[in-house]
Amino acid sequence: MSALLSIRDLTVHYRTRRGPIPAVDRFSLEIREGDSVGLVGESGCGKSTVALAIMRYLGTNGRVAGGQILFRGRDIATLSPRALRDYRGGEVAMVYQEPTSALNPSMTAGQQLAETFRDSDPRSVRATVREALAEVQIGDPERVAAAYPHQLSGGQQQRVVIAMALLSRPKLLVLDEPTTSLDATIEAGIIDLVGVLQRRHGMAVLYVSHNLGLIRQTCRRLVVMYAGQAIETGDTERLLVRPRHPYTAGLLACLPRPNSHKQRNPLHPIVGQLPPPHALPPACRFAPRCAFASPGRCDTLAPSLVESDAGSVRCIRATEIDLSIPPPSPEEPNYPTTNDVVIAARGVRKTFALPIRGFAELFRRRRLTANDGVDIVARHGETVAVVGESGSGKTTLARLIAGLDTASTGEIVVLGEDVARTPVADRRAALRSTLQMVFQDPNDTLNPSHSVARQISRAIRKLGSPTLTASARRAEVARLLSLVRLPPDVASRLPDQLSGGQRQRVSIARALAGSPQVLLADEPASALDVSVQAAVIDLLLDVQRRAGTTLVYISHDLAMVRYLADRVYVMYRGRVVESGPVGALFAPPYHPYTEALLSAIPSVDGPSDQRIVLSPAGQAPGRGCPFAPRCPRRTGEICDTTPPPVQCPEGDHMFSCHLTPDDLGRRQAMPSREGR
Amino acid sequence: MTVNGAPTGYDVPAAGGLGLRHLARSPAALIGLAIIVFWVIVAIAAPWLAPHPPNTPLQALLPPGSETARGAFWLGTDQLGRDILSRVIWGSRRVLLYAPLATAFAYAIGITIGLMAGYWRGWIDQALSRVSDVVLAFPVLVLYILIITTIGASGLNIVIAVVFASTPGVMRIVRGLTLDARGRNYVAAAQMRGEHPLAIMFVEILPNVRGPLIVDACLRMGYVTIGIGVLGFLGLGLPPPDPDWGGMVHEARALAFVFPHIVLFPCAAISSLVLGFNLLADGLRELGRQ
Amino acid sequence: MVLAVLKRLGLLAATMLVVSLVVFLLLEATPSSVAIKVIGPYTTAEQQQLWLEQNGYLRPVGERYVEWLGRFLTGDFGESIRFKAPVAEVLWPRLWNTAILGLTALAVIAPCSILLGVIAGIREGSPADRSISVASIVTTSLPEFASAVFLAGVFVFWLAWLPGTSSMAEGWDWRQLVLPVAVLVLYDLGYVARMTRASMVEVMATAYVRTAVLKGLSRARVITHHALRNALITPFTVLTLHINWLLSGVIVVEAFFAYKGFGALLLEASLNQDIYLIEACTMVAVLVAVATQALADIGYRLLNPRLRGT
Ligand SMILES: Nc1ncnc2c1ncn2[C@@H]1O[C@H](COP(=O)(O)OP(=O)(O)O)[C@@H](O)[C@H]1O
Ligand code: SF4
Ligand code: SF4
Ligand SMILES: [Mg+2]
């Protein structure tokens, strides 16, 4: 096989106010016909820049400062405008992260597909469009072709983008985080689709991602990038089992493994953060974060990429160090728990009025039911996880408990007091201190205008001790910062001067100001890179260990939930469909929806060919089981017409389904037919 | 919310950081600021800068550059024989007093009600928005004319008219920005620690929306300057004889085609001041976008 | 959609109703001042009292407003004090003149500003962008009366190409229309061009334009089919909303060039305290402004597929 695309010593600079920054530094990569290559690394390490350079599209301030990119031996820098268009449309196609913004909002999906080819017969164009949509497994191509992007779900949009990319049968498909903004169940479908199409058309695929599990399922070869450089390459399987670079090993140690649990195997976050491109360490760029760094060598000698049979690695000490993943820690971390119920919610219902769309609605507003009779209990010192796809009502539940919204009906008892209809402003100050929240998006969790110190001391005043003197308050700020493992000089900074992980720690410090007994954490780590994510989770668990805090952890990341939760609630369309202790919930029998969620976890371990692909959420059924339209285990008419009973396999594990635990257990023991 | 393409935050300037150091990066903003500062100095130093008293008739209708005007009357004299340069210099005082005053009041009121409408929403928002819709339905000048006709022309009344006409626009902008900001998690965090709603509005939200507001304020200063000038030009401005750029054009309108120099210089003065505000606004906007 | 349009029209009617109340209260709330304005300040108190009685001004304000509104809706605006003729008779011809002036200006502004804005916005920071942006900042900074002075200085005083007044005293003459239109264009062109540019710059930076480029489409097609389609929604709205501004502009321009239009009429009415004429002029101006605002809203919905269905 010959090289389809070869990147040689590519260096890309971005022009900025601080002068040119090197986003990619002497990067080389070879992709053969039909190959599948993964490109991984933390955000900001230069992955997207490589992908865009392949398309010769670096925007107005990007510039190839060195090296070349050859496509079938031809330097793409030399292509004429005409040839460049043929190259982009015909030879190489790209799919990116946000399908919503990648499609033109004022053209239908069909129009956007149709304009790619220069056929003039409208009938044959329409037929081709239909075929293209059918190929990406879109159920009703006619409807989708006539729809505007906003009328499609995220998964459908991404399929349309892929269909568009494939129309001209490219030889190379570049995918830049194509599923990052999608739910795991939808992601699974897209990943499978790409695999199928790749095999069918013999395309090469370059898959850019920060998710090692995904890469493992899709790519034969893997390139790991760090701070603009390739630091390790090799076969995916080899690289994930026996990494040779400390950074690769570090990334793997950050991931929760299927059979690990917080009680036995703590995560090992990588310390520190990616250096900014204008302040790179002089020699090995990973040195400041590397546990194996050897002073005098790693900070003076820039390592080069050394080739061997097993791939290449950029580390001076690659041959001397032992990177086998650290063994489970000997002493069992102790999480103090008691049986005291801290939060008990019963029959919580929350509806929102929808915008008026027609005359009839002037008089009867349509309402969206975000929570539909949710029961949930959290005890002292335990971690309760709430999982489900986006839109299943997790955040609504958290906001109701927090008092940021009030429930329509039902009761929410926090420490013996029903606060279901008490907004947070009207709650007792003591109750406010006791129940705090950590939010998802590190970009807006802190007020951009106030320094860290100011935000934390404000929280101390309002939640902790209002009477502290200024100097005592300063000391308290420093104590809280050290609690979240931040140096004291962070206090004087503005949020913009912090990284995402640091901001999230500050927000935890702020929440801890009143020594809360309950922390509501709404996807606290999902917007962070894996290495940083592990550190934040670690921190939350540390707080919990020390203070016996009850943690309500909301997430769609089942791997993490399996790792840290004691009990789990699975939500679907505003209802809890399954709940129970983590051990029971993650073993058959499970609710068919949980089963699908679990099978969609992209994992760096074990076989991956049992995934259940769910169709996108459709119309909600009137009565019956809410999951019926998508359920792969649907037993028949009864699922549509009769609300499912609660089944109780053992202890406090329960789920609602017409199938009995025995039925389900039997079926789930076999590999699912619905996988590929 | 972007997960991976998220900005790493290394290069972002502090929120709305619009200090002088930042200004240095925008030539437009610098030039604009220079023009404004120039006029402010002129206004303050008018008694020392003006070569003649502004209202005293000296010698009528001398064009600049003419034999008699040279040296004594740099910009010539007007139909009543007053020195145009001195009148332009003194005239800057009026504009630079009333425009900032009116804009400041419009902002004080607009920010307060805009924050309330955006933060509380509901009927307060409905009521305030409908009222501002009504005011904004009037073409600005029609509104000015209507108000001045009703309450008469005086410095205070001009300020009242401008405040009345500008406040709804300010309120709308603040409201929009507040609606966006109130959904941010830092606002939720403030609610969770029990901050008073007014503290949330003024301490948590307001500092984060100041960037666009400062830009808007500069633009609005420009419009208000034009508005005050136009009122003067239409004869609805401050009563004579004290010089006022718009008023100077009004008084000499009939002579504009014969002795253009009388009207030319006040026009140039007001245009340059407005240009200053617009350049500053534009430069600040670009800086904010970076 | 139909519901949205009806809602918008309802809002229009409601706004006009409130505006009418405001105008009425501002000008006619205190009967004695009305009397002074109508029959003059040098009349005796008895004369004024008599006039008030004869004209029904001694009734409660609410009753007077309802009656006033009724007459207004039927096109009876009362008698102009200054022109000693029914307001309607004075108003309509003037309105017609202003329509000619305003629409001519708009016909120049719309295509030119959009063209300039698009050219500037295609490549942010290009020489074309820089020159257009600077030029438009400068022109929007000139108050209408100032640019009128500058233009008149050049074309009337210095070159003597064009007449300095536009009263059309000797019949209709297009040359008299040139300067007023030019002043309006100069002031408003830059603003609309800048808004178009901003919208274009924003659209050119979107992911969907990148998609279109990376699909291998030609630059021309990317611009015409992907960028413009979205970027032109803004100038449409801005232009329609700008009619409100244009109405302010015509007052100044008509005053300067002695053009016999509606703006000059409003000014004259106001300087002469001709309250019935002021009322009618104001209501007409606001109606035009509000109607174009409604048009802008509805058009925005039609142009925007996201809103079309709702
Ligand atoms: N248009 C740009 N202008 C300036 N800097 C950029 C631009 N795009 C990316 N960068 C910088 O280049 C580096 C690499 O970014 P990117 O290729 O997006 O990484 P990744 O895809 O791995 O997250 C980062 O430091 C990022 O901030
Ligand atoms: S060169 Fe040194 S610092 Fe760099 S990765 Fe290897 S051991 Fe770590
Ligand atoms: S009740 Fe039926 S549809 Fe619902 S989960 Fe069970 S089998 Fe599936
Ligand atoms: Mg990226």
User: Which residues from chain B sit within 8 angstroms of residue A212, using beta carbons?
Assistant: none
Looking at residue B4, what is its pLDDT? 31
The overall average pLDDT reported for chain A is 87
How close A485 comes to chain B (CA, Å)?
20
Q: Count the residues in chain B.
A: 290
The residue type of A189 is G
Written as six digits, the tokens of B72 are 């004594």
Residue of A573, A578, A633 best suited for mutating to test ligand 3, as the one with most atoms within 8 Å of CB: A633
The residue type of A396 is T
Closest CA to B272 of B233, B229, B236: B229
Written as six digits, the tokens of C71 are 């007459």
Average pLDDT over residues C82-102: 89
Which residues have C-beta within 8 Å of that of residue A328, sequence separation ≥ 6? A260, A264, A265
User: Which residues from chain B sit within 8 angstroms of residue C248, using beta carbons?
Assistant: 139-142, 230
The residue type of A555 is S
Half-sphere CA count of A624, side-chain side, radius 13 A: 17
CATH number of the domain bearing residue B150:
1.10.3720.10
How close A439 comes to chain C (CA, Å)?
28
d(CA B159, CA B163): 6
The 8-class DSSP code of residue A513 comes to G
d(CA C18, CA C16): 5
Residue with the smallest CA separation from ligand 1 atom 14 is A46
DSSP strand pairing (A221-226 vs A653-656): unpaired
Contact C146 B267 (CB under 8 A): yes
Q: Place A118 in a pLDDT band, splitting at 50, 70 and 90.
A: low
Measured from the Cα of A318, ligand 2's closest atom is: 6
Half-sphere CA count of A402, side-chain side, radius 13 A: 27
CA A596 – ligand 1 centroid, Å: 35
Mark out chain A residues that contact chain C at CB-CB < 8 A.
Answer: 55, 57, 60, 81, 85-90, 93-94, 96, 98, 101-107, 115-116, 148, 150, 161, 164, 168, 355-359, 362
Residue B9 belongs to a domain = no
pLDDT of A506-554, one tens digit each?
Answer: 999 999 999 999 999 998 888 888 888 888 998 999 899 889 999 999 9
Residue C158, judged by CB atoms within 10 A of its CB (0-12, 13-18, 19+), counts as: exposed
Q: Is the CB of A59 under 6 A from ligand 1?
A: yes
Q: Is the CB of A596 under 6 A from ligand 3?
A: no
C44 versus B193: the higher-pLDDT residue is B193
Q: Where do we find the tokens 């005007």?
A: B69
Written as six digits, the tokens of A284 are 């090995």
The residue type of A76 is I
The overall average pLDDT reported for chain B is 85
Contact between A606 and A258 under an 8 Å Cβ cutoff? The reply is yes
pLDDT of A254-312, one tens digit each?
Answer: 888 877 788 777 788 888 888 888 888 989 999 999 988 888 888 888 899 998 888 89
CA A612 – ligand 3 centroid, Å: 15
Positive or negative, the Cα torsion across A412, A417, A419, A420? Answer: positive
User: Which residues from chain A sit within 8 angstroms of residue B188, using beta carbons?
Assistant: 402, 404, 437, 439
Looking at residue A671, what is its pLDDT? 52
Residue B13 belongs to a domain = no
Provide the β-strand partners of residue C79. Answer: C86
Contact between A612 and A674 under an 8 Å Cβ cutoff? The reply is yes
Residue B258 belongs to a domain = yes
Average pLDDT over residues A186-195: 86
How close B227 comes to chain C (CA, Å)?
8
Average pLDDT over residues A7-36: 91
- Ligand approaching nearest to the C-alpha of B7: 1
Q: Count the residues in chain A.
A: 676
Describe chain B by its helix, strand, coil percentages, rounded to 5. 70, 0, 30
d(CA C265, CA C267): 5
CA distances from A412 to A347, A472, A477 (A): 9, 36, 32
> Is the pLDDT confidence value at A387 over 70?
yes
Looking at residue A10, what is its pLDDT? 96
Distance of CA A149 to the CA centre of its chain: 23
> Is the pLDDT confidence value at B13 over 70?
no
Average pLDDT over residues B130-134: 90
Domain that holds residue B272: 19-288
> Is the pLDDT confidence value at A44 over 90?
no
Longest dimension (CA), chain A: 80
Contact B8 A529 (CB under 8 A): no
Q: Where do we find the tokens 């029209």?
A: C9
Residue of A646, A657, A663, A668 best suited for mutating to test ligand 3, as the one with most atoms within 8 Å of CB: A657
Average pLDDT over residues A144-148: 91
Q: Where do we find the tokens 């202003």?
A: C98
CA B238 – ligand 2 centroid, Å: 77
How close A355 comes to chain C (CA, Å)?
9
Contact between C196 and C111 under an 8 Å Cβ cutoff? The reply is no
Least CB–CB distance from C141: residue in B134, B264, B274: B274
Contact C292/B at CB under 8 A:
no
Half-sphere CA count of A32, side-chain side, radius 13 A: 6
Least CB–CB distance from A102: residue in C124, C207, C219: C207
Q: Where do we find the tokens 């309607």?
A: C88
Superfamily of domain C89-264: MetI-like (1.10.3720.10)
Residue of chain C minimizing CA distance to B153: C271
Residue of chain C minimizing CA distance to B233: C145
DSSP characters over A28-59: EEEEETT-EEEEE-STTSSHHHHHHHHTT--T
Residue with the smallest CA separation from ligand 2 atom 1 is A315
Q: Place C141 in a pLDDT band, splitting at 50, 70 and 90.
A: very high
d(CA A260, CA A276): 33
A610: left (phi over 0), alpha (psi -120 to 50) or beta: alpha
Closest CA to A257 of A240, A236, A276: A240
- Write out the E strands in chain B: none
A425 versus B258: the higher-pLDDT residue is A425
pLDDT of B167-211, one tens digit each?
Answer: 999 999 999 999 999 999 999 999 999 999 999 999 999 999 998
Closest CA to A287 of A210, A226, A224, A223: A226
Looking at residue A312, what is its pLDDT? 93
d(CA A201, CA A169): 8
Q: Place A125 in a pLDDT band, splitting at 50, 70 and 90.
A: confident
Q: How many structural domains are present in chain B?
A: 1
d(CA B129, CA C202): 28
Q: Where are the domains of chain C?
A: 2-73, 89-264
Contact between A77 and A67 under an 8 Å Cβ cutoff? The reply is no
Question: Which stretches of A8-153 are DSSP H helices?
Answer: 47-54, 81-86, 99-102, 109-114, 122-135, 141-146
> Is the pLDDT confidence value at B152 over 50?
yes
State the DSSP H helix or E strand holding residue A647, giving kind and residue range, or none if neither: strand A646-650
> Is the pLDDT confidence value at A642 over 70?
yes
Which residues have C-beta within 8 Å of that of residue B155, sequence separation ≥ 6? B94, B97, B98, B238
User: Which residues from chain C sit within 8 angstroms of residue B226, using beta carbons?
Assistant: 143
Q: Place B12 in a pLDDT band, splitting at 50, 70 and 90.
A: very low
Average pLDDT over residues A157-166: 91
> Is the pLDDT confidence value at A53 over 80?
yes
Looking at residue A618, what is its pLDDT? 61
Which residues have C-beta within 8 Å of that of residue A423, sequence separation ≥ 6? A403, A404, A405, A406
CA A646 – ligand 3 centroid, Å: 11
High-pLDDT (> 70) share of chain A, %? 94
pLDDT of A407-432, one tens digit each?
Answer: 999 999 998 899 999 999 999 999 99
The 8-class DSSP code of residue A549 comes to -
Contact B151/C at CB under 8 A:
no
Which residues have C-beta within 8 Å of that of residue A125, sequence separation ≥ 6? A114, A117, A119
Half-sphere CA count of B32, side-chain side, radius 13 A: 28
Contact between C240 and C299 under an 8 Å Cβ cutoff? The reply is yes
Chains in contact with A, counting 3 or more C-beta pairs less than 8 Å apart as contact:
B, C
d(CA A208, CA A316): 26
CA A43 – ligand 1 centroid, Å: 8
Question: Which ipTM was obtained for this model?
Answer: 0.88
The overall average pLDDT reported for chain C is 88
Residue with the smallest CA separation from ligand 3 atom 8 is A634
Residue B95 belongs to a domain = yes
The residue type of A654 is M
Other residues' Cβ atoms within 10 Å of the Cβ of residue A121: 9
Q: Place B8 in a pLDDT band, splitting at 50, 70 and 90.
A: very low
CA A628 – ligand 3 centroid, Å: 5
User: Which residues from chain B sit within 8 angstroms of residue C11, using beta carbons?
Assistant: 133
Q: Place B77 in a pLDDT band, splitting at 50, 70 and 90.
A: confident
Residue of chain B minimizing CA distance to A459: B193
Q: Mutate one of A444, A445, A493, A554 to test the B interface: name it (highest B CB count within 10 A).
A: A444
Q: Is the CB of A664 under 6 A from ligand 3?
A: no
pLDDT of A316-361, one tens digit each?
Answer: 988 888 887 565 555 567 788 888 999 999 999 999 887 766 666 6
Contact B169/C at CB under 8 A:
no
> Is the pLDDT confidence value at A667 over 50?
yes
Question: Which stretches of A554-674 are DSSP H helices?
Answer: 558-564, 582-585, 592-599, 637-641, 661-669
The 8-class DSSP code of residue A125 comes to H
Kindly tell me the number of DSSP H helices and DSSP E strands found in chain C: 15, 0
